[in-house]
Amino acid sequence: MAAAAAETASRRLGAAVRGLSGAWYGRHMAAAERAIRTRLPLVDLVLEVRDARVPASSAFESLRRRGPLEPDGRRFVVLNKADLADPSETEKWTAYMKKQRTCPCIAVNSHNRESIKELLNVVRSRIREIKHGERDCTGTVLLVGIPNVGKSAIVNAMHQIGRIGAADKGKLKHAIVSSHPGETRDISGYKVASHPNIYVLDTPGVLSPRFANDDSGPRLALTGAIKGSLLDEYDIAQFLLAVVNSREGYRSWENLNQAGDTSSSGNANTSRSHSKKRQYVSDHSQDFIVKAVRQVLFETISSFKGDLGKEDELRRLVDRQFISLQEAFKVSTESSEDVGKSIALKLLNLYSTGRLGHYTLDHVPDVRQEVAA
């Protein structure tokens, strides 16, 4: 019954996405796709970066329409943002992809040095195989994917680790990294390793104007692949709340009223050290705000007696949550900005940074189904 809640909100947001008629796919994106397809036959390896929260929905459509010069043997799927996804679901997805295709798959966190080292070692090994073990050869890697999957963050991390490891001199060149989709506009090259010399080409994100199924649109909107300015943030936040309401993760917030909140931050700070930290109500990412938000969500979900499978009941719960979140986020009713939009933006930001839990939105298909790859 609870799963129907997310499906109802997904259909509503999906209608809004379809109404855009692919408005995000402008001339610059079409030009980028042509440039990428031109380079595909010229590189040694293709790293397709996907969002671990939506491993199927974030597939790079241009590779699905590949020609004879672009075999799976030169492709490697990278599930980035694994730190934001459900770990058990990520394991299922990597296992599924490896089983269904000859294309290898690895899950990474672009902000974790050890994770990027592992990816870099895999790339080195694959290039050596392609170059038949030559040590002083040069390999080229094309990094592709839809917007906001973290391609530039990956290439920056690989570039920094590879350059430092090779003891190269000179100022590091960095790719532009942003939480907003579409910041990378040109194809740029970065050296990430020596012996063999490996160069990675970072490319602009390209999102197809049409999706394989109706579920992909809402999920890509929530994970930030579609520019937020094209959609109503309130609608996206409603979908997020429907997802939270339908999962079991909120149950872990039951004891937040007790001393200490070990789950509100990634370190082991004590409650005493938290109390010494200055608290700014304007900063919704502070631990005491996050704790209040989690308390509101737990209390509203656990006390709700309605049927989440019914659309009107779901809306009643979401409306109650927005009212309660206004106090949790310290949003003043006297503010000149739209209160609902302000709450939605803060809520979506906490989701995008993993502060509201780890959710994988795409379910692993039945083994008899073909993976979206």
Boundaries of every domain in the chain:
1-21+214-256+284-372, 26-202
Which CATH number is correct for 26-202, 3.40.50.300, 3.10.180.10, 3.30.160.270, 2.60.120.40? 3.40.50.300
Q: What is the pLDDT of residue 336?
A: 61
Burial 215-235 (b: 16+ CB within 10 A, else e): bbbbbbbbbbbbbbeebebbb
pLDDT given at position 62: 82
50-62 b/e with 16+ CB inside 10 Å = b? Answer: bbbbbbbbbbbbb
Q: What is the pTM of this model?
A: 0.86
CB of 300 within 8 A of CB of 5?
no
Going by C-alpha positions, the residue among 217, 223, 161 that lies closest to residue 191 is 161
Q: Integer distance in angstroms from the first to the last C-alpha of the chain?
A: 30
pLDDT in tens, the chain (373 residues): 567 667 888 988 999 999 999 999 999 999 999 999 999 999 999 999 999 999 999 999 887 755 544 446 789 999 999 999 999 999 999 999 888 765 789 999 999 999 999 999 999 999 999 988 777 789 999 999 999 999 999 999 998 887 665 555 444 455 444 445 444 456 888 889 888 889 999 999 999 998 878 899 999 999 999 987 899 999 999 999 999 999 999 999 998 765 444 444 444 343 344 445 565 666 888 999 999 999 999 999 999 998 888 888 999 999 999 999 999 999 987 766 789 999 999 999 999 999 999 999 999 987 655 545 5
CA distance 77 to 253: 34
Do 45 and 127 meet the contact criterion of CB atoms below 8 Å apart? yes
**Which tokens in the block code for residue 83?**
């730190």
How far CA 226 is from CA of 147, 178, 246, 341, in Å, comes to: 8, 14, 23, 17
